[in-house]
A and B are shown apart, each in its own frame.
Chain A
Amino acid sequence: GAVVSQHPSRVICKSGTSVKIECRSLDFQATTMFWYRQFPKQSLMLMATSNEGSKATYEQGVEKDKFLINHASLTLSTLTVTSAHPEDSSFYICSALGQDNQPQHFGDGTRLSIL
């Protein structure tokens, strides 16, 4: 089946640093990738939709300058949390969508902890 790889799985860093998270579709071409954020014991909240070769579409309330998304190829999207602060600590999950009518396939998620 379709596999989505997300890296790193966990990152701990100091406040003020920028953190890049990668999302790769390993065996299919993903025209669209989605980035979600999940707080403890809460549901997944869509942050942005990333389309290959175009600008990401951000959900209301998500700062585009804070969460930079790049989808430069059909198999890779990156989320960069810029100048991260403790309130950015969360579980970030990506998913990828192929060109057919298949459902989204999810990565394992990245646990981000900002000290």
Chain B
Amino acid sequence: AQRVTQPEKLLSVFKGAPVELKCNYSYSGSPELFWYVQYSRQRLQLLLRHISRESIKGFTADLNKGETSFHLKKPFAQEEDSAMYYCALGGSARQLTFGSGTQLTVLP
């Protein structure tokens, strides 16, 4: 069965500090991992997907198959990064299994 775990419901950091949002997954096949972000009163939008290996808004995420992790990182957090972040795992039918989400607050 597919499962995504985000252990932190809430995470607060100060502006300029590094931030890491944790995500672990369980999947028997070859995983496809995503990070979605939801800013206040906005729709869910894609931030990153592991196959593109991009850096979006300064965020990066590396798939670690050995640790079954896909942690999201940013070296210097900004106040506008405050949002709800969801890690998601793509299935064989391209459906998504979401983690429970982490609410990131970047303090001034």
Q: What is the interface of chain A, defined by CB distance below 8 A to chain B?
A: 32, 34, 42-46, 49, 57, 93, 95, 97, 103-109
Contact (A103, B49) CB under 8 Å given A34-B95, A43-B86? yes
Of A34, A43, A97, A106, the residue contacting B43 (CB under 8 A) is A106
A22 to chain B, nearest CB (A): 15
Bitwise interface map of B from 22 to 66 toward A, beta carbon under 8 Å scored 1, else 0: 000000000000101000001111100100000000000000000
Total count of chain B residues near the partner, CB < 8 A: 18
Q: Report how many A-B pairs have Cβ atoms within 8 Å.
A: 40
Q: What is the interface of chain B, defined by CB distance below 8 A to chain A?
A: 34, 36, 42-46, 49, 86, 93-101
Q: Cβ of B97: which chain A residues have Cβ within 8 Å of it?
A: 46
Contact (A43, B94) CB under 8 Å given A93-B44, A106-B43, A108-B43? no
Q: Cβ of B98: which chain A residues have Cβ within 8 Å of it?
A: 43-45
Q: Cβ of B49: which chain A residues have Cβ within 8 Å of it?
A: 103
